[in-house]
Amino acid sequence: MRLCLFVILGASLLTACARDAEADRRSRLIRWFDVRTTIYFESHMRCTAAIYKVEAVEPKDSLPVQRDPENAKRAFRMGRVAAIQMAGYSPNDLTDAMLLSGDGIFGKQVLASAAQSVPCLESNMAKDALRTAMTRPGAILAYDRQSEGLIILDPIAARLFYVAGDVF
């Protein structure tokens, strides 16, 4: 009986240690994107990875998308969600451009979020889909400073990706 109670209590504590709840993450993202179905969601104590189907392949008006690194860096420094899209550039290319722009903090934060989210990308489908989105020219790269999360809107696949992680 005690062992059973211990197992139930332990399982409850592990569930409570997730970085994000799916409903909370969705309610934040829905401010800027037309989020529909959850395709993948995994959250542990130190990371979250999520993939959503979107109806509209452009962000809502509440998320201004910058067209050059300087304006994206300015939005980032103002503490908002900063988004950038440049014709012919993938999110990977945009991250490189942001690393080379000024002190590179926007690009560094994007790289950190991506790297720290790896433990939550347990599915090969999720890894492959994120890799495709990261290299898709024309996809939108965004960073949410409040949640320290990387956001990618892939307009071809009509998918929204959110990944985040904590160092400790």
What does the pLDDT look like over 53-95, one tens digit per residue? 999 999 999 999 999 999 999 999 998 899 999 999 999 999 9
**Residue 11 placed within a domain:** no
Which residues of the chain have a pLDDT value below 50? Answer: 3-15
CB atoms closer than 10 angstroms to residue 153 = 30
Q: 130 φ, ψ to 5°?
A: -65, -40
**Residue 156 placed within a domain:** yes
Work out whether strand 35-43 and strand 47-54 pair parallel, antiparallel, or are unpaired: antiparallel
**Residue 139 placed within a domain:** yes
**Residue 7 placed within a domain:** no
Split into its structural domains, the chain has a count of: 1
Taking the whole predicted model, whether its pTM rises above 0.75 is answered as yes
pLDDT at 16: 57
Query: Is the distance from CB of 161 to CB of 151 less than 8 angstroms?
Result: yes
pLDDT at 17: 81
**Residue 14 placed within a domain:** no
Q: 143 φ, ψ to 5°?
A: -140, 125
**Residue 109 placed within a domain:** yes
pLDDT at 7: 39
Buried b (16+ CB within 10 A) or exposed e, 106-129: bbebbbbbbebbeebbeeeebeeb
Query: Is the distance from CB of 52 to CB of 37 less than 8 angstroms?
Result: yes
Tokens of 134: 């990261």
pLDDT at 117: 93
Domain residues for the domain of 82 are 19-165
**Residue 64 placed within a domain:** yes
